[in-house]
Amino acid sequence: MMRLYHCVGARSMRSLWLLYEMGVEFELETLEFSMESLRTPDYLSVSPLGRVPCLVDKEVKLFESGAICQYLCEHYDDGRLYRAPGSSDRIKWLQWIHYAETIAVHGAALVQQKVFIAPEKRSDVVQKLESRRLFLSIKMLEPILSEQKYLLGDSFTAVDTGIGYSIHLAKQFIDTSALTAVDAYYERLISRDAFQRAL
Ligand SMILES: N[C@@H](CCC(=O)N[C@@H](CS)C(=O)NCC(=O)O)C(=O)O
């Protein structure tokens, strides 16, 4: 059976949320978010950098959340979450899958600055810069979400799990209340059963 390697609170939540949205069967392997548990020889043989998410499906091993999203959609979607080549939303679907990481890298920088780096070694400049870039990377979604409920229109698709997780991460560090359409979108996402289960 397909297996997802996951850490609570990490980007693997995207893959977990998507699997719950799809309703497919899989095994969940939850690892502790620590060097001891992510750098074992066993786990490094699956995920070469010892990061999450990682998906194993028979002979397939994948360790990048956007690629996992695309793979799952290509193989297991029932028509709701994927936009295949040739569909009118295909290009936007691809863009948002990858744009999710443009947002998340700033969130990850803030996790390092505010959680993992010892207080005396943290940088105010880096924190301000990353917070600003994080805010701007989400602000660009505001006009789009003012016009429609989800990134591709009125229907929820897989890209909303990628971007939705990035907004979820961002909200731990920045105030998005000035972005009313983004906040309303976020509320719609977190009220989904699959999001709550993945959380
Ligand atoms: N771009 C990758 C990022 C994966 C990644 O860096 N995951 C973090 C958790 S959010 C991780 O596993 N960090 C552990 C480490 O760096 O040791 C993806 O989206 O899958």
Q: Measured from the CB, is residue 10 less than 6 Å from ligand 1?
A: yes
Provide the pLDDT confidence category of residue 46 given band limits of 50, 70 and 90. very high
For residue 65 and ligand 1, the question of a CB distance below 6 A is answered with yes
Centre a 10 Å sphere on the Cβ of residue 128 and count the other Cβ atoms it contains: 10
**147-171 CB burial, b ≥16 within 10 A, e <16:** eeebbbeeebbbbbbbbbbbbbbbb
pLDDT digits (tens, 9 = 90+) for 78-101: 999 999 999 999 999 999 999 999
Domain 90-198 has CATH 3.40.50.620: no
Residue 8: phi and psi, rounded to 5, are -60, 130
Q: Are 3-76 and 90-198 in the same CATH fold?
A: no
**% of the chain at pLDDT higher than 70:** 100
Name which of 169, 103, 110, 187 is nearest 141 in CA terms: 103
152-176: pLDDT as tens digits: 999 999 999 999 999 999 999 999 9
Torsion angle defined by CA atoms of residues 95, 132, 161 and 198, in that order, rounded to the nearest 10 degrees: 160
Q: How confident is the model at residue 64 (pLDDT cuts 50, 70, 90)?
A: very high
Task: Tell me the pLDDT of the chain averaged across its residues.
Answer: 97
Domain 3-76, architecture per CATH:
3-Layer(aba) Sandwich (3.40)
Write down the pLDDT at residue 31: 97
Q: Is the CB of 169 under 6 A from ligand 1?
A: no
- Centroid of ligand 1 to alpha carbon of 42 (angstroms): 17
Residue 64 beta carbon below 6 angstroms from any ligand 1 atom: yes
What pLDDT score does 122 carry? 95
Q: What is the pTM of this model?
A: 0.96
Domain ranges within the chain, ordered by starting residue: 3-76, 90-198
